[in-house]
């Protein structure tokens, strides 16, 4: 389908983009890589009168480390994250997740900030962003603020971003000593989206027990979430096959699962337990190594 007519704006600075978004209000939408907004405009599920393309704003595409924290610009593409040598050594969960996104064309064009701001319930990025306790920076004409990942995903295609805010940066902590990370996913065979995707980070103490456990899950419900019941069942304990199996049975506790023609809610609940166990087993193995 063809989207409804709209005015196209190409600001050259973040300040200019913020002014346009504040001016147009609910009639304006931000365009980054285009893989989220354009399809829903073609389906007439969104019909903004003004499209603000921030893709040519310099300085919003980067990966850099400072003081144990890695900062990622919102316009950084999936491929840039997949191929980043810094991330491969300091936060390997992100390149591993990026490799699972779409195909080469999508990874070369799509951006991490655009994906997070769109908050598709089957997108890959929300799971690791939650598991890493990331911070998300947003900018508007009113100034800047930082949003914890745990507060960012509000509901179906809904985030904590205000209507006049632009997501500008994501900050994640580097992998600690004796830490391990992993992303495990069942992709939809046609779209590549996550039927279920699970990101895990663990840190073992000197005795081998799990001092830290964090699990982010996407694809199961209307929004991505932290599997706190799994985390609580494992934290402070030495991992074993039996303990993992029992803990991962709680991967979808308290979540209203989503069903569709490909996977029922009950099936997604089952997949959540399976893929949570797989992600944790791999993360624990890497932490041991």
**Could you tell me the CATH number of the domain that includes residue 77?**
3.30.465.10
Distance CA 118, CA 103 (A): 19
Output the domain CATH number for residue 43.
Answer: 3.30.43.10
Name the β-bridge partners of 215.
200
Structural domain span for residue 24: 7-53
Residue 220 lies in a domain: yes
Q: What is the pLDDT of residue 150?
A: 98
pLDDT given at position 61? 98
User: Which pLDDT value is given to residue 34?
Assistant: 87
Identify the pLDDT of residue 35: 81
Q: Would 2 be classed as within a structural domain?
A: no
Domain tally for the chain?
3
Residue 236 confidence (pLDDT):
98
pLDDT in the model for residue 45: 87
The answer on 160 and 92 residing in a single domain is: yes
Give the span between the Cα atoms of 253 and 278, in whole angstroms. 18
Q: Decide which of 173, 190, 206 is a domain's last residue.
A: 173
Q: What are the mean pLDDT values of the chain's consecutive 10-residue runs (289 residues total)?
A: 93 98 95 89 92 96 97 98 98 98 94 97 98 98 98 97 97 98 97 97 97 98 98 98 98 97 97 98 94
Q: Domain boundary at 173, 192, 224, which?
A: 173
SS3 252: coil
* Domain annotation covers residue 1: no
What predicted TM-score, i.e. pTM, was given to this entire model?
0.96
Q: Is residue 133 part of a domain?
A: yes
Looking at the structure, tell me whether residues 49 and 69 fall in a common domain.
no
Same domain, 164 and 183: no
Last residue of some domain: 158, 173, 188? Answer: 173
pLDDT score, position 12: 97
Supply the pLDDT for residue 100: 97
Q: Are residues 103 and 198 in the same domain?
A: no
Check residue 289 and give its pLDDT: 75
Residues 227 and 202 sit within 8 Å (Cβ to Cβ): no
Q: For the chain, state the CA radius of gyration.
A: 19
Q: Are residues 72 and 162 in the same domain?
A: yes
Q: Are residues 43 and 73 in the same domain?
A: no
- Cα separation, 8 vs 178, in Å, equals 49
In a domain, residue 91? The reply is: yes
């Amino acid at each position: 389908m063809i989207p409804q007519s709209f005015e196209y704006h190409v600001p050259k600075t973040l300040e200019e983009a913020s002014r346009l978004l504040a001016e147009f209000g609910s009639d304006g939408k931000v365009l980054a890589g285009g893989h989220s907004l354009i399809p829903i405009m073609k389906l007439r599920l969104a019909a903004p009168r003004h499209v603000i393309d921030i893709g040519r704003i310099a300085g919003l595409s980067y990966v850099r480390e400072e003081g144990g924290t890695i900062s990622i610009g919102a316009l950084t593409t999936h491929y840039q994250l997949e191929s980043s040598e810094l991330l491969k050594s300091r936060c390997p969960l992100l390149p591993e997740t990026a490799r699972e996104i779409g195909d080469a064309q999508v990874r070369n064009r799509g951006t991490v900030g655009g994906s997070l701001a769109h908050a598709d319930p089957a997108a890959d990025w929300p799971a690791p962003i939650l598991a890493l306790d990331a911070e998300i920076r947003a900018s508007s004409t009113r100034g800047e603020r930082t949003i914890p990942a745990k507060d960012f995903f509000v509901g179906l295609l809904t985030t904590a971003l205000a209507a006049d805010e632009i997501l500008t940066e994501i900050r994640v902590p580097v992998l600690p000593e004796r830490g391990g990370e992993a992303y495990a996913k069942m992709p939809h065979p046609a779209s590549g989206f996550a039927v279920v995707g699970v990101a895990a980070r663990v840190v073992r103490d000197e005795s081998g027990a799990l001092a830290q456990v964090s699990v982010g899950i996407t694809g199961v419900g209307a929004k991505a979430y932290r599997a706190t019941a799994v985390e609580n069942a494992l934290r402070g304990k030495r991992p074993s096959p039996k303990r993992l199996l029992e803990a991962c049975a709680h991967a979808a506790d308290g979540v209203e699962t989503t069903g569709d023609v490909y996977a029922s809610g009950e099936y997604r609940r089952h997949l959540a337990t399976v893929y949570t166990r797989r992600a944790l087993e791999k993360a624990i193995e890497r932490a041991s190594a």
